[in-house]
Amino acid sequence: MTPDNSISISDGVVLKGKKEILSGLTPGCDTKSFSLSDFSFLWLDKDTVMMTYTAAQDVTCAGKNRMEK
């Protein structure tokens, strides 16, 4: 459920648009857990809000554990 005009900023990398974001996903990974927390909202104007959050995941890709926060 990724909108076409999504923007993803993670680890200093900016991905713009659904196609670019989905192409960055690694196939064949096993996700054991995933969570979102520490939500923060900043109103930029009356029609625009910027939301930030912390994502944590426990993922194994090609036999290597990639626990990240």
The answer to whether the Cα torsion of 49, 7, 31, 66 is positive or negative is negative
What residue spans of 1-69 are helical by DSSP H?
A: 18-23
- The reported pTM is 0.55
Domain ranges of the chain: 7-65
pLDDT at 39: 95
Q: What is the pLDDT of residue 63?
A: 78
pLDDT in tens, the chain (69 residues): 678 998 888 778 888 998 888 877 767 788 888 899 999 999 999 999 999 988 888 888 877 776 665
Distance, CA of 9 to CA of 19 (rounded, Å): 15
Which run of H or of E encompasses 41?
A: strand 29-45
- Residue 67 has a pLDDT of 64
Residue 46: per-residue pLDDT: 95
**Residue 38 corresponds to which amino acid?**
D
